[in-house]
Structure 1
Amino acid sequence: YLALSGHSAGIAPSTDAREGTPIIPRLPVEHRASVEALLALPVATATGPQPLGRFVRVEEGVRESSRVRKNLRPAIYVTGDVAGEIESPVYAILDMNRKLDAVRIAGAEIARYNAVQPDRLDELAMKWDGEWQVTIEVFRDLGLAFAGVLLLIYALVVGWFQSFRVPLVIMAPIPLTLIGILPGHAISGAFFTATSMIGMIALAGIIVRNSILLVDFIQLAQARGRPLADAVIEAGTVRFRPIALTAAAVVVGGLVMVLDPIFQGLAVALISGAVVATLLTMVVVPLLYWELARRDTNGNYIGRQKNGVGGSDETAADHLQRIELTTGAATA
């Protein structure tokens, strides 16, 4: 048994994988590939080494193979493990799917299933199972949880601002997190895993909080009589520091996990998503709110007096220019 199958004698450290390589001493292939080679194996006896063929007799026969079925259907199990540079099953199976696209058996393509079992007996099919099945279920559940979080956030913001459109402005930066998360994973070489999805869900709440700070400041400034254009500009100026500090806190917290093999995706998603989405939020949310507010008040016309811009036909650009001139005169 030891000559043919070997036995683990230890673990050798590996430079390209997190787990070591087992050390299994056994005979070379040429000494265990034929019956004659096996019969010639020396066996220790009292009179010295003797060939194994002196003590055994070879009989040829046919042994029935085991028949495996799943859900009363014939099945063949092929198992394997992922190791090396790519340890995430997602990337490995996607690569194997590309190679299986070129495989034809009797001129037919192999049908592949991911979440369900094959339901036909007249086709050659395979189903990815094991860790891939777990991965699909986790991403599915997290996707549903993300959708539920978005609905809950929308309901809460609607209740606070008493508007059905303002929450859309507040939640607009949530998709912008992908602009940071996906390139962040590509640059860092981290795999997009379930923990990355958890980071996306966590970022949704953080980004919405930043948007609420901006919109709430704009509305409070308008309530005090500030023009819409001034309120939008002041919101970006005054609220930039607390929003930037929030992003910095997220980055510092993510740095603690960035080297962890399990939570690396969470850290990369939080860091890259928070930085990029915060910068875009400071631009997108004020602009969207300004556009929404001016249309609600004056139809398709920019900056009428009801918006707080001086003069019945004065545009927002004229108003901002007047502010700059007034500021320059006051400074002089």
Structure 2
Amino acid sequence: ALELAQSLESLPGVSDMLDDMPFGREQLIYRLTPAAQALGLTTESLGRQLRAAFDGHLAQLVQVGQDELEVRVLLPRAERTRLDVLEQLLIRAPDGSFVPLPTVAHWESQRGFEALRHADGRLAVEVSADINRALSTPDNVREALERELLPRLVKHYGIEYSFEGRAADQRETLGDMRLGLWLGLALIYLILAAVFASWGWPLVVMTAIPLGLIGAIAGHWIMGLDLTLLSLFGLFGLSGIVVNNAIILVSMYHELRETGIEVEAALIAAAVSRLRAMLLTSATTVVGLGPLLFETSLQAQFLIPMAVSLAFGVGFSTILVLVFTPALLSFHESVHFRVAQWWRS
């Protein structure tokens, strides 16, 4: 933890490193000598005798009225407060003989910890720090840690690590969003399939969604922003918005085809007749989000990534829908015609 905290200091924008394992009082750490192992002593048996000497051995319980008193046998208080008593303390060996403590153990003074924390039954320590977003981002710090520092600590100390706190919350949120994405796409498809009475046309309409995602990602690159959790929220909203233009175009094409117009003429007429409506609806959305994109207040910085996803996604998808959706409709009609011919034959 200390090495990790010291290494974090070298990263730009990282400060105020803390861990949840503060140092406590001085402790004596003892280890068995070869002589103790030859006598059959173990760390556990030696520890029990040391505990009995300084904390007391429960000899009996005495009932006094309604109270129960413990009778413990231990060293006198004057001896329990001196370290030199360890040099004179006798330890009982498994064969019944007594040997001096320095013969069977050696000890050293070491600073202990005030508290030990466990996670999933294993000793754990949490290291946290503050990040100045003007100099760096959490993703950049995480990438720097995973690239060099953390693998070195794993190799040297044999530890395991995970990113918790906001990173854990973000992983949980992304898991929920992944489930919500599939449910949302499934519902959009089922609604469109019911409206158009077709299994293929909803797929044509829903191609506007990846087109909008391309625009949103390009918008983050143009604005010099990183994809954040709020950016993903914007992408969720974008998925339901960008299909509107495709629905307008496909609906018009469907009406023209029902009047008996040929495929190519219906595609041209649908694109021309719905061009103004598509451009106006998209332009009003982009213009409405414009002031937020260039807002400089601190409160707006959290919402700008979501606004970028919506504004650039809607604007970019509108242009691409006018090109790709008619082409996909033509392809769909061609495939449908060939399949129908093959089925009849």
The question of 1:296 aligning with 2:323 is answered: no
| Matching residue's letter, 1:65 | F
Q: Which of the residues 217, 234, 243 maps onto 1:208?
A: 243
Tell me the number of residue pairs that the alignment of Structure 1 and Structure 2 aligns: 231
The question of 1:89 aligning with 2:138 is answered: yes
Which residue of structure 1 aligns with residue 327 of structure 2? 287
The question of 1:182 aligning with 2:231 is answered: no
Q: Percent identity at matched positions?
A: 28
SS state at 2:167 partner: helix
Structure that is richer in helix per residue: 2
1:214–1:235 contact (8 Å) kept in structure 2: yes
Q: Deviations over 1:236-281 (max 9, x none)?
A: 1111111111111221222233231111111110111111111111
1:97-246, aligned counterparts within 5 Å?
Answer: 97-100=146-149, 103=152, 108=155, 123-246=158-281
Which residue of structure 2 aligns with residue 73 of structure 1? 122
Which residue of structure 1 aligns with residue 112 of structure 2? 64
Which residue of structure 2 aligns with residue 330 of structure 1? none
1:170–1:215 contact (8 Å) kept in structure 2: yes
Runs of 4+ aligned structure 1 residues displaced above 6 Å come to none
Which 5+ residue runs of structure 1 have no aligned equivalent?
1-15, 23-60, 111-122, 302-332
Q: Deviations over 1:192-221 (max 9, x none)?
A: 112111111111112111111111111111
Distance change in 2, residues 1:128/1:76 (3 Å): same
Distance change in 2, residues 1:202/1:83 (3 Å): same
Structure that is richer in strand per residue: 2
| Matching residue's letter, 1:273 | G
Which residue of structure 2 aligns with residue 274 of structure 1? 314
2:234–2:310 contact (8 Å) kept in structure 1: yes
| Matching residue's letter, 1:282 | L
The CA deviation at 1:99 is 2.8
Distance change in 2, residues 1:214/1:142 (3 Å): same
- 2:288 and 2:308 mapped to 1: Cα distance? 11
Which 5+ residue runs of structure 2 have no aligned equivalent?
1-11, 17-108
SS state at 1:125 partner: coil
1:250–1:271 contact (8 Å) kept in structure 2: yes
SS state at 1:79 partner: strand
* Stretch moving more, 277-286 or 96-105: 96-105
2:208–2:317 contact (8 Å) kept in structure 1: yes
- Calculate the TM-score normalised by the size of structure 2: 0.61
Aligned CA RMSD, in angstroms, stands at: 2.6
- 2:194 and 2:221 mapped to 1: Cα distance? 39
- Calculate the TM-score normalised by the size of structure 1: 0.64
The CA deviation at 1:299 is 5.1
Q: Deviations over 1:39-88 (max 9, x none)?
A: xxxxxxxxxxxxxxxxxxxxxx8553232222331112211122132564
Q: Deviations over 1:145-191 (max 9, x none)?
A: 22211111001001111111111111012111222111211221222
1:190–1:264 contact (8 Å) kept in structure 2: no
